[in-house]
Chains A and B, each alone.
Chain A
């Protein structure tokens, strides 16, 4: 082995310094302030773990966690089921394949905040008319104003926007499957569903894992679409964790307290991701 050229250090160290300055240092100062009563301005005192204890007694925090998880898990499942279905459809012998692929990817190039505003109009004006016309009670008023249904609106918009990306990942996966596997299965007389279960799904296992992990992680951070659709309402029923951190930290004088929330949230995200990767990867086949 030749010795490492100094140039390699010059290539990496400036980036490392910037990363530490803009990512690691904020993360560490955040952890420090989570142990104080800092409001975001003025003086502060050290209060130990008090913020952390208070978090677990705070209804607003607890409800933001349960909403965020309910929303993120539901959306992740919906997105992956539909995206896999659409990818299989686009991979089948259909006409205008490229055009359809192009159309299905459109939502991914649009800002979800703006999409949220457009759907806000649909949910508050168009759907109620449809509901009244069809005589469906729960649909005849805006679902976004309904405490029990507003979260479904957020699920719908998030799914609409992110299915696009998952479809592309699944398509990439489907194209890695050698065609002769299907030919062999055809000869053995295996039906479509059987082939899906025994060939397609196992062969795209890695793509399924990546999609599930990326989707869940993305939805756990939801912010933009909620701002556009409900603003966290009605009441605080659709406030996500990111939104509570934002509001409490910037507008509510709860800097230290919300940093404790952030730290807990980080641990939750890491735990969820690790569990997800472990369980999903065990099911993958290597080839």
Chain B
């Protein structure tokens, strides 16, 4: 496949990390382009600004365009939203689902990919590889009706079931990226360890898994973004209102209090804040993680 071939040769080039490698004749900063980037960045920042100022206003300040600076700040918006959406509970549910999905995905999907990557010459494992990857073409909406019924029957209509679903549905994509990475790891290490009497499990735990760290980061980041922000799966899978995740809580709140904009925006801000804060601190790491996934 052209993509994977490109990937292999691309890796070495990208590893030398040259954001500035396209050095032309002179090394001067291009200010017009910098200005253009700044203007474009505003399209990202303005909606966020609007979210913050709306969350701080009193309802009577909503008359204008919405971009006005709040004349009087109403912090009760946040406490109202906190209580009306049962914020701590939703936050806890989102955290359980996300942490569960990330941990279980990294541990299990890398293991499956290891078994596949080292045995692709065997019919069974080759079949397994294509079976998982083919499922990339079967997006969730297509199986959502029967999957919802089945999870209910199996007693998985709760946060635990939800993170199990993310782990299983993530297999398609993750096996694909992990396998490509593992195949680039030379077998000599494993052969030497086998000579020393290490078991296959031991090799995975002590040699392969540590070598997978960069890929684990990539898979972890993507799974985290997916599980935290997803709306459709929690909407159809979770049956008990007490188990609502943050996006689901916003949806329910929205349908109950359609016109209560200031409190709603405070609630949106609180729902967006946790991951946004994590991102602000781990920005470089997150972006390089996502990039690595694409080059694989």
Contacts and interface: CB of A to CB of B under 8 A. Distances in A.
B128 A12 contact: yes
B242 interface: no
Interface in B43-101: 43-45, 47-48, 50-51, 54, 62, 64-67
B139 interface: yes
Given A8-B125, A27-B138, A95-B29, A119 B47 contact: yes
A121 interface: yes
A15 to B, nearest CB: 4
A182 to B, nearest CB: 6
Contacts, number: 301
Given A8-B118, A207-B294, A246-B144, A15 B108 contact: yes
Interface of A: 1, 4-5, 7-9, 11-12, 15-16, 18-19, 21-23, 25-27, 29-30, 33, 40, 86, 89-98, 100-115, 117-119, 121-122, 125-126, 129-130, 160, 165, 168-169, 171-179, 182, 186, 205-207, 209-210, 217, 220-221, 223-224, 227-228, 241-242, 245-246, 249-250, 255, 258-259, 262-263, 265-266, 269-270, 273, 281, 284, 286-287
B47 A122 contact: yes
A262 B145 contact: yes
Given A95-B34, A266-B142, 7 more contacts: A89-B33, A92-B22, A104-B41, A110-B229, A165-B290, A173-B10, A223-B141
Contacts of A241: 141
Contact of A179 (B21, B145, B251): B21
Contact of A27 (B37, B45, B146, B229): B146
Interface string B263-296: 0110010011001100110011011001110110
Interface string B97-121: 0000000000011011011101101
Contact of B112 (A15, A112, A168, A258): A15
B145 A259 contact: yes
Interface of B: 2-3, 5-7, 9-10, 13-14, 17-25, 27-31, 33-34, 36-38, 40-41, 43-45, 47-48, 50-51, 54, 62, 64-67, 108-109, 111-112, 114-116, 118-119, 121-122, 124-125, 128, 131-132, 135, 137-151, 154, 164-165, 168-169, 171, 199-201, 204, 225, 228-232, 236, 246-247, 250-251, 254, 261, 264-265, 268, 271-272, 275-276, 279-280, 283-284, 286-287, 290-292, 294-295
A12 B115 contact: yes
Contacts of A273: 137
Given A15-B112, A165-B290, A93 B51 contact: no
A113 to B, nearest CB: 5
B19 A91 contact: yes
Nearest to B14: A175
Chain B interface mostly helix, strand, loop or mixed?
Answer: helix
